[in-house]
Each structure stands twice: as structure tokens, then as C-alpha cells.
């Protein structure tokens, strides 16, 4: 039986807006050598390798990028059940939220209301987008001790929105927010320690911060820390801990973790073997547009290893994955062997999924 092979994580460059794809490998073609991972330095995102026939010898692991920082405006008050401002915000009544927050900020000096005003200005909710005003309200909230305001202002300082880029201030804000228990701040501060540009590179400190955020339930941090344990980066190598973290992140719908955890389940690595559960996770991730999951699911369905054979469905996912650049020579060969009728079915199914005629 073929084994689905995860690939190790290479500490990559800091990207503030995209979620990194978990890249896994079955058997890449021999012509494509996997990129080397010598040390946890900032590197550009490597291109995933295509797959070869199952009979090929197992390849050396390829590298994947570090999960990216999540940039989002700070949420409003911690307890929405007792807060009229956040209640209006949740219902999409942004003008009402703006009016209520303005009154509370001006009359009571409420830092959480100030953070809400920053959020509304930053995202053009009920008011015209104005990053300068957002930064001003976030600054007032941060000065008032609100951890969400600190985090949001740090993100603006790093991106240069609402004022010039100020990484030194951003680091201080992230550190203060993290000390107050904000998992997003701890996660993003960890990425700065990995990046090695704003702060001296320190993978052990990054691992500590990822652990803080992971323990607080942040799925991106859980996934990042899982890769650290899998590779022994900044922590002792521990596959069992890595898989437990992947499971936690996948339960929180982190697509990268879903794919990695599916592979662990399929192979029985760090967890009891469960091919049915693995295939279910691959299906879920495939439907969430993970091209890696689409390719691996296609292989499972075309070969019938881990699920009943379904070449039409499997090759549909193959064509869908190819549109995202995840080609696969073995699956191309399987496609070529289809009858004209079945090929037409596969192509029609792929078009339906992609929303094309």
C-alpha cells in the first residue's frame, strides 16, 4: 500500500495576509529535486512538486513555508453577551455600533469602545474607511490597556496603514498584548522572531510564543507548533505532540492542518491508523479548495487505496487540482486510459466544480 507522505516545514518568509498551504508529497517525479532546508532562515515560498507513479521509490521530503500571520482588525469587547456596542456590531448594525461606541468612548473613556471605533474606521463599517482615524482610536485604546487595541495598532504599524511603518512600536505593542493574553499577538510576535528581520531570529522564543497561542486555542499557532514538533525546530522532536496539535487545529477548520492530519491518520503516524477518517478529511479540505488535498484525494479514489475506487470522481479532482498548478503524471496517465465517454464525464464534473461552461 502506498503511504501518503507529509513533508517537513521550512521556516519561510513572513507573509501578513495569506494562509500558507500545507504541502505534502506522495512521490514527486525524480526530475524535480526537493528544495534543501539547511536552517530556519527566511526563504521564498518553494513550489510544490508533482507526483509520480506509486511504484517509484519514496522521495526525500520537500519543504513547505511557515504559516503566515493572520491580519485582522481587533474584535470588540470580550463578552458580547453583555455589550450593546458589540451586539449591534454582530447584527451588522454598524452605524448603531458607531454611535454607541462614540458615546461610550467620549463619555466614559471606554478603551473597548475605542477599539470598536478603530475597527469600524479600518473596515469601512458604517463610516468611510480612514486608517488614520482607526490608528488614532486604536492608540487611545492601547493607552487605556486594551489588548485588542494594542494588537490592531501593531498590525497597522507593521503594514504602514494610518501612518509610517514602525516595527519597533509594533513589537512593543505585540509583546504587551501577548502578556495580557491575546493569542493573536503571541502568534504574530512569534512570526517576527522567525522572520529574523524585525527581531533577531530565535526559533526557541518563537516556539514558546506559538505554545502560548496554541494553548489559548489559536489554530494557526497550533499548526505552526505542530510543524516545529514534527521537525524538532526550537523544541525536541515529538511526532505524537505534533499530531495532537494537528488534530486540534483541524477541528478548528485549519485547512493546512486538515491535510497534514489526514496523512497522519492514513499512515498511522502518531495516531491510530484510520483511512476512512483520513479520506473524509481530505474530502473536506478538497472542498475548501486545497489543491494538495484535491490531488491526494484523487490518488486515493483512482487507485482505490483507502476508499472505494471511483475514477470519475478522482480524476475530476485531478483536473481541479491541475488548475491550481498541482499536476500529477500518474493521474495524467490514468486520464489518458479512459474511454471517450468517461473522459467527457470527468471533464464535465470538473467544469461544474470550477463553475465554468
Q: What is the CATH number of the domain that holds 99?
A: 1.25.40.10
The closest alpha carbon to 203, from 193, 188, 212, belongs to: 193
Chosen domain end from 227, 253, 278: 227
Same domain, 316 and 221: no
Same domain, 90 and 219: yes
**Whether the predicted pLDDT of 227 surpasses 70:** yes
pTM of the model: 0.76
Same domain, 84 and 222: yes
Distance CA 277, CA 289 (A): 19
Tell me what pLDDT residue 340 has.
96
In a domain, 19, yes or no: no
Q: How many domains does the chain have?
A: 2
In a domain, 99, yes or no: yes
Tell me what pLDDT residue 64 has.
37
**Whether the predicted pLDDT of 275 surpasses 80:** yes
In a domain, 235, yes or no: no
In a domain, 353, yes or no: yes
Residues 169-192 pLDDT 10s = 999 999 999 999 999 999 999 999
In a domain, 252, yes or no: no
Q: What is the mean pLDDT of the chain?
A: 82
Range of 301's domain? 291-357
Chosen domain end from 190, 211, 227: 227
Q: Apex CA 216: angle with CA 215 and CA 217, to 5°?
A: 90
Task: Please give the average per-residue pLDDT across 217-234, as a whole number.
Answer: 97
In a domain, 298, yes or no: yes
**Whether the predicted pLDDT of 315 surpasses 70:** yes
| Torsion sign over Cα 337, 341, 343, 345 | negative
Amino acid at each position: 500500500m502506498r503511504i501518503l507522505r507529509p513533508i517537513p516545514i521550512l521556516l519561510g518568509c513572513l507573509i501578513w495576509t495569506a494562509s500558507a498551504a500545507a504541502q505534502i508529497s506522495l512521490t514527486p517525479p525524480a526530475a524535480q529535486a526537493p528544495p534543501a532546508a539547511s536552517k530556519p532562515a527566511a526563504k521564498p515560498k518553494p513550489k510544490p512538486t508533482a507526483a509520480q507513479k506509486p511504484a517509484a521509490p519514496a522521495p526525500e521530503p520537500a519543504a513547505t513555508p511557515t504559516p503566515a500571520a493572520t491580519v485582522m482588525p481587533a474584535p470588540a469587547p470580550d463578552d458580547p453577551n453583555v455589550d450593546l456596542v458589540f451586539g449591534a456590531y454582530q447584527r451588522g448594525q454598524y452605524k448603531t455600533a458607531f454611535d454607541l461606541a462614540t458615546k461610550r468612548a467620549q463619555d466614559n473613556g471606554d478603551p473597548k469602545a475605542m477599539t470598536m471605533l478603530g475597527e469600524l474606521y479600518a473596515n469601512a463599517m458604517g463610516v468611510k474607511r480612514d486608517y488614520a482615524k482607526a490608528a488614532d482610536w486604536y492608540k487611545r485604546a492601547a493607552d487605556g490597556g486594551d489588548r485588542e487595541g494594542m494588537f490592531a495598532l501593531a498590525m497597522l504599524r507593521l503594514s504602514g496603514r494610518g501612518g509610517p511603518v514602525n516595527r519597533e512600536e509594533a513589537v512593543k505593542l505585540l509583546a504587551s498584548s501577548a502578556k495580557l493574553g491575546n493569542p493573536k499577538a503571541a502568534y504574530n510576535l512569534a512570526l517576527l522572531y522567525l522572520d529574523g528581520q524585525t527581531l533577531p531570529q530565535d526559533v526557541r522564543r518563537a516556539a514558546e510564543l506559538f505554545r502560548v497561542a496554541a494553548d489559548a486555542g489559536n489554530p494557526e499557532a497550533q499548526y505552526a507548533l505542530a510543524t516545529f514538533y514534527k521537525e524538532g525546530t526550537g523544541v525536541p522532536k515529538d511526532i505524537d505532540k505534533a499530531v495532537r496539535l494537528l488534530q486540534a487545529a483541524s477541528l478548528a477548520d485549519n485547512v493546512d492542518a486538515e491535510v497534514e492530519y489526514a496523512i497522519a491518520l492514513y499512515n498511522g503516524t502518531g495516531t491510530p491508523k484510520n483511512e476512512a477518517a483520513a479520506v473524509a478529511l481530505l474530502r473536506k479540505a478538497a472542498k475548501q479548495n486545497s489543491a494538495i488535498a484535491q490531488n491526494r484525494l484523487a490518488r486515493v479514489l483512482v487507485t482505490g487505496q483507502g476508499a472505494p475506487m471511483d475514477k470519475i470522481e478522482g480524476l475530476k479532482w485531478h483536473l481541479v487540482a491541475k488548475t491550481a498548478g498541482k499536476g500529477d503524471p500518474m493521474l495524467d496517465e490514468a486520464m489518458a486510459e479512459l474511454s471517450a465517454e468517461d473522459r467527457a464525464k470527468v471533464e464535465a464534473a470538473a467544469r461544474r466544480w470550477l463553475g465554468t461552461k
